[in-house]
Amino acid sequence: AKMAAGSGAGARELFAEGLLQFLRPAVRQLDRHVHSVRESQVELREHIDSLATELCRINEDQKVALDLDPYVKKLLNARRRVVLVNNILQNAQERLRRLNHSVAKETVRRRAMLEAGGY
């Protein structure tokens, strides 16, 4: 009975180790993608700011009265949404970082248990 229980525990540990090994690359890849999207969001926000500034400058320099204010407002609204998405991505990336840390910690713990148990 002890052998059966011991082999069941060993099988569970082996399964858990395999699951952790499976999850780690996916979490790392997702983290890289989130980081890449965040960089793109920052670049987009900078372009929006530059375009809004340029539209304001053009509007001030025009001899003919062009009302570019609605376009500037649309750009600023788009910028606000980009910042909001960037904050969401930042929170998601932080959760991924914590998950990756937990997976690594659990892997070390389980590996130590397996080695200590002689499995």
Amino acid letter, 96: L
Mean pLDDT (the chain) is 81
Residues 51 and 73 in one domain: no
Question: By residue range, what is the domain housing residue 22?
Answer: 1-65
Residues 60 and 71 in one domain: no
Residues 58 and 23 in one domain: yes
Residues 2 and 19 in one domain: yes
pTM (2 decimals)? Answer: 0.55
Residues 6 and 46 in one domain: yes
**What would the pLDDT profile of 7-59 be if each residue is shown by its tens digit?**
676 777 778 778 778 888 888 888 889 889 889 988 998 998 898 888 888 87
The b-or-e profile of 8-22 (16+ CB within 10 A means b, else e) is eeeeebeebbeebee
Q: Could you say which of 65, 83, 99 is where a domain stops?
A: 65
Amino acid letter, 65: A
